[in-house]
Every structure is written in structure tokens, then in C-alpha cells.
Amino acid sequence: MTSIPSKQDGAVSAALDDAVEVLLQFAAMMLRAGNTATRTREWIDVMARKMGFDAVSVSLSLDSVTASVRRSGERVTTMREIGPPGINASRIAELEQLARTLPPGSAPGEIAIKLAEIESTKSLYSSAQIAAAVGVASGAFAFLNGAAAPEMIATAIGGGIGQWFRAWLSRRQLNQFGAAALSAATASGIFVLSAALARHAGLGFAHYPAGFIASVLFLIPGFPLIAGLFDLLQHQTVAAVSRLAYGVMILLAVALGLSIVIAVGHVDITRQPSLELVYPLKLLLRAIASFVAACAFAMLFNTSARTVLAAGLLALVANDLRLVLIDMGMMLAPAAFFAALLIGLVALVVDERFNVPRLAMTVAPIVIMIPGIYVFEMIVLFNRGQMLEALQASAVCSFVIGALAMGLATARFLRPR
């Protein structure tokens, strides 16, 4: 005997389909804004309970989300594509706030309207503001890597124009890897041109390599790399590997653009001694540079003004701690570990007390500690066939990035939630 589904059964199935679609839309927006798979999964569980699901199982990756849900004896499995990844810390905060304050039993249609409102929210900063901030941050990076004022100015010009060009390419929906390569070539090319004009005017660059590489450090995919490391530590392997692969591809694209300029301009990237300053003044200037660079990155990630300031202050303390430890003779990796531990502990406290997403507080200060100089040196040296020097640079990169990840993981272990 075959039972014929009633109209009521069809209505129930349609309602379940609508609810699942809204849940997947929420998850896709979370991941597309750059949130970790771990946190996305946590908030999916919160949303699912409030929407009346009995059970939910999700599989997350960089480009898709699959969910299997059960409610009132019915089970549905469906998948949704995420779209091109991006970074939007403000959107992550809004989505978390929605999940936190959503009344139990809310209709899927009401939730869909709220999600549409969040998705239509404009960026907190204009392209010009972000380009100017990135330019200043690039100059700060140059100083932190040992450059003097002439190199800082040229780096700021290159970084600002490079960021503006990247935003212009993004609005025209150019492939992200192509945009990264072209932006790197533009930023470093502007630096080379500025240096040539300065030489023609009789002004020499004593720390040329530091400024040259610092001009493209804003292109380091810090958000995907840090989010991927978080996910890897929380056993979200599929999402972590896909996100880390994306970050590595961006790095390779940036290195390609940089390599073209190096080949055309015959640029020597051999490291040179840092700028010599009186130590108290050096500490002060490094603190200012750390603050400026972290604030600029937080703006680039579309973070609220209050969080921008908090991230800058945290970077000021943590990065200065790292640099002081290095000055005292500590190796790069242990110094990075203690700085990341401090950042992780503060980010957890801020998340618990002020509902600020951990990534918003963590990534900007951590990004300025990623050894971008060594990353690009490693890739360029491998490309040139200088294997020994490239392996040395890659070892430094691996140890420092691993120490940053372990510092954040230790912070989470010390303050479990």
C-alpha cells in the first residue's frame, strides 16, 4: 500500500526547506566574510537550536557548505556555494549578534530579511581611506624592517597606490590571484620608480631592500592564513586545508608580481643593516609604527572604529614586547610565541566581555608579526636557484608562523570556552 503525501505534509517539507536555506545562507555569509569554520559551526548550532531543528550536521570548506538537518522526524541534506572569499570583520560581528539575539521560533522569512540587510550594509571606509591607511602602514612596515625616512616615503606611495589599484581590480571582478600579482607589481614598481627619481635628485636609499619588500607586505593574506591555522588546531581539516591553500596561492601570485619587477629593475634584495637609532627613541618609534600598521590592517578588514583602536593598542604592546625580547637575545620564534600568547589572551577576554569577534582583535596585530620579508625572500631566492639561502629563509618563516599559531592555541587552552 502506497501512501499519498497530503498538502499538509508538503507544506511542512517546504517550511523545512526554507529554514535550511536560511541556515545555509547564514553559514555562507559567515565564511565569505572570512570567519573560521570553527566559529561558523558554533554559530550554526546556535541558529539551528533557535530555529527548532532537532539535529544539524554541517561540512564546511572554502567554497561550499553542506548541511544535513532533522526536524519533527524529517531529514533534509542540501549544499550551497559560498562564492569568492573576502574579509569583513564588521559583517562577522553583525552575524554573530544576529545569532546571539535571535528570538527562538523566528520565521525563516524574517531571518532572511535580516540577513539581506546585513549583506547590503556598505563598507565602513571608502577606498580612498583604506588606500591612505595602507600607504601609511606600508611606511610603518618599512621602518619596522629597518628602513629610514626616504624608503618609508617611497614605500608608503607604492603601498597606497597598490591598494587603490587592487580595490579597482576587485570592483571589476578580476580573478583574485591575478589582482594580487598585478597589485604587487604595481606597488613594488612604484617604489622602484620613486627610488630612481630620488636618486636622480641626489637622494640615496641606504635601506633599499627593506622598503622594496615592505611595499607589498599589505598583500600578505594574513586573515586566511590565521583563520586556517585556527581551523587546523580545532580539527576542521577540510576548511583549514582549503583556506591555507588559498592563502599560499595568493602569496605565490604576489611573489610572481614581485619577481617580475625584480627581474626588470635588477633589484638586489640582499638584507642590509637596520637603521641605527638611540634605543629609547627606537622603542617609541617602533611602538608608533606597530600601532599605525595594525590600525590600518583593521581598517582593511572593515573593522569598527572602536575595534581598530583596540587592535592598534594591542599591537603596540605585543609587537614591542616581541621586538624587545629579540633585542635581548631571544630567538625569533619564541619571541613571536609570547607575543601571540598575549594577543590571544586579550582577544578571548574582549570576546567574552564585549562580544567582539576574536578574529577582529587577533588578526591585525598578528599580521604585522608574520615574517613577510622572509616569505618573499624565500620565494624569490627559490626562483633564482639560490637553494641554501632560500631554505634558511623558509626555516625562519616556518618556525615564526608556527610559533604564532601555537601562541594563539595556548591562549585558547588557558582560557577554554
pLDDT for res 413: 78
pLDDT for res 6: 42
User: Is the pLDDT reported for residue 9 higher than 70?
Assistant: no
Write the DSSP string, 1-32: --PPPPHHHHHHHHHHHHHHHHHHHHHHHHHH
Instruction: Kindly state the percentage of the chain with pLDDT values over 70.
Output: 96
Each residue of 122-157: pLDDT tens digit? Answer: 999 999 999 999 999 999 999 988 888 888 999 999
Report d(CA 290, CA 316) in Å as an integer: 5
Write the DSSP string, 342-378: HHHHHHHHHHHHH---HHHHHHHHHHTTS-HHHHHHH
- 312 pLDDT band, cuts 50/70/90, is very high
- 3 pLDDT band, cuts 50/70/90, is very low
Q: Which of 270-274, 275-279, 314-318 shows the lowest mean pLDDT across its residues?
A: 270-274
- 2 pLDDT band, cuts 50/70/90, is very low
- 417 pLDDT band, cuts 50/70/90, is low
Phi, psi of 281 (to 5 degrees): -65, -40
Phi, psi of 232 (to 5 degrees): -60, -40
User: Is the pLDDT reported for residue 348 higher than 90?
Assistant: no
Comparing 13 with 120, the larger pLDDT belongs to 120
pTM: 0.86
What b/e sequence results for 278-304 when a residue is b if at least 16 CB atoms lie within 10 Å of its CB, and e otherwise?
Answer: eeeebeeebbebbbbbbbbbbbbbbbb
Report d(CA 228, CA 241) in Å as an integer: 7
User: Is the pLDDT reported for residue 1 higher than 50?
Assistant: no
- 189 pLDDT band, cuts 50/70/90, is very high
Report d(CA 42, CA 40) in Å as an integer: 5
Instruction: Kindly state the percentage of the chain with pLDDT values over 90.
Output: 41
User: Is the pLDDT reported for residue 8 higher than 70?
Assistant: no
Each residue of 15-65: pLDDT tens digit? Answer: 788 888 999 999 999 999 988 898 899 999 999 999 888 888 898 988 899
Closest by CA position to 340, among listed 370, 312, 360: 370
